[in-house]
Amino acid sequence: MTERPLPSTQNKDERAPADSMRPDSLRRVPLSRILGNDREIVIEFNGADYRLRITRNQKLILTK
């Protein structure tokens, strides 16, 4: 038995172009270039501070 893909819940016009979904079309930046030797930084965006940190379980968390 072959599996059929599930129908999309989005209209055809709402879907992102295939090229925008390809990872190779995005700029890649190593996390070490952003954090350096730190495990946490504050990012200022539109007048608000956001914390980007690496948890003890090696997860990346962004909080406001």
Q: 38-64 sits in which CATH class?
A: mainly beta
Q: What mean pLDDT value characterizes the chain?
A: 83
pLDDT of residue 5: 61
CA angle, corner 41, sides to 31 and 48, nearest 5? 120
**Are 41 and 51 contacting, i.e. CB atoms less than 8 angstroms apart?**
yes
Average confidence (pLDDT) over 22-44: 92
Nearest to 59, CA basis, from 33, 35, 39: 39
Percent of the chain with pLDDT over 90: 61
Taking the model in full, what pTM does it have?
Answer: 0.59
pLDDT digits (tens, 9 = 90+) for 44-61: 999 999 999 999 999 999
Q: How many CB atoms lie within 10 A of CB 53?
A: 15
Q: What is the pLDDT of residue 35?
A: 96
The domain spans of the chain are 38-64
